[in-house]
Amino acid sequence: MVVLSVPSEVTVILLDIEGTTTPIAFVKDILFPYIKENVKGYLETHWEEEECQQDVSLLRKQAEEDSHLDGAVPIPAASGDGADELEQLIQAVVDNVCWQMSLDRKTTALKQLQGHMWRAAFKAGHVKAEFFEDVVPAVRKWREAGMKVYIYSSGSVEAQKLLFGHSTEGDILELVDGHFDTNIGHKVESESYRKIANSIGCSTNNILFLTDVTLEASAAEEADVHVAVVVRPGNAGLTDDEKTYYSLITSFSELYLPSST
């Protein structure tokens, strides 16, 4: 088995979710279709609620920022003028969400609405999150060795907690010391990793970030965070240069902590 030694200065392991702890197929084949199939009904049912209105406002703001992009779908402001207008408005939000999802965009606005929509599905037990089989045993071992374990995903913190709270392994939320999402910054920007270190109360070089996306690894590395790229079934392929440059692991069990036996 390949072994990657974790540098002794590392005290925090920061984990990406999709493609790292969890198969991309679970997100693409279960979570995302749930949104596409239910977004219209969800908006119709929850439209009057404060939370739903906040989600729509955030999506509208994002749509304004996106107006220069090819195929962008605007969301008009509501004038409160009748059922026809409401129907058109809801349809615009649906089209905007579907357009963003067709590009797998990671905007905070999209991720916030998705998190709110998944809540009902997870809480009713209709969906259980999948984790690669090496994840839970490794995280337990790291924590026993004194490591802190944090999550940094484009999925909203609320969605992250749903995944860890309702998984095929049971409720494993207690294995996580804290969560970060794009509210702290995007995963391809190095400043986000500095802010995460600051929020945890450590230096960036105390963190080891595990992700499947080399653009994220590169941003983290620029902030002096240690990185390893996780190669999982179903992940996007890496170029030969990326394979040579990055430390690669195919299972969390390949990480060796100097302090552990």
Ligand X SMILES: CSCCC(=O)C(=O)COP(=O)(O)O
C-beta of 86 vs 188, nearer to ligand X: 188
CA distances, 62 to each of 65, 68, 74, 87 (Å): 5, 11, 9, 20
C-beta of 21 vs 62, nearer to Mg ion: 21
- Rounded Cα distance between 118 and 48, Å, is 19
* Shortest distance, position 18 Cβ to Mg ion, whole Å: 4
Alpha carbon 135 to its chain's center: 16
C-beta of 40 vs 119, nearer to ligand X: 119
Alpha carbon 166 to its chain's center: 16
Q: Would you tell me which residues interact with ligand X (CB under 6 A)?
A: 16-19, 27, 31, 106, 111, 114, 153-155, 159-160, 163, 187
**Residue 55 makes contact with Mg ion by CB under 5 A:** no
C-beta of 51 vs 104, nearer to ligand X: 104
* Shortest distance, position 248 Cβ to ligand X, whole Å: 17
**Residue 16 makes contact with Mg ion by CB under 5 A:** yes
C-beta of 156 vs 257, nearer to ligand X: 156
- Rounded Cα distance between 92 and 71, Å, is 13
* Shortest distance, position 153 Cβ to Mg ion, whole Å: 7
* Shortest distance, position 213 Cβ to Mg ion, whole Å: 5
User: How many residues of this chain interact with Mg ion, rule: CB under 5 A?
Assistant: 4
Residue 16, marked binder? yes
* Shortest distance, position 88 Cβ to ligand X, whole Å: 28
CB 249 within 8 A of CB 210: yes
Amino acid at 120: A
Residue 212, marked binder? yes
Residue nearest to ligand X (CB): 155
Instruction: State whether the Cα torsion 24-32-106-203 is positive or negative.
Output: negative
**Residue 181 makes contact with Mg ion by CB under 5 A:** no
Residue 158, marked binder? no
Dig out the tokens for 31 from the structure.
């979570």
C-beta of 18 vs 55, nearer to Mg ion: 18
**Residue 19 makes contact with Mg ion by CB under 5 A:** yes
- Rounded Cα distance between 261 and 257, Å, is 8
- Rounded Cα distance between 21 and 210, Å, is 9
- Rounded Cα distance between 216 and 239, Å, is 15
* Shortest distance, position 7 Cβ to ligand X, whole Å: 24
Query: How many CB atoms are closer than 10 A to CB 11?
Result: 15
Residue 195, marked binder? no
Query: How many CB atoms are closer than 10 A to CB 64?
Result: 11
Dig out the tokens for 23 from the structure.
């198969």
Binding-site ranges for Mg ion (CB under 5 A)? 16, 18-19, 212
Binding residues for substrate are 153-154, 187
Binding residues are 16, 18, 153-154, 187, 212
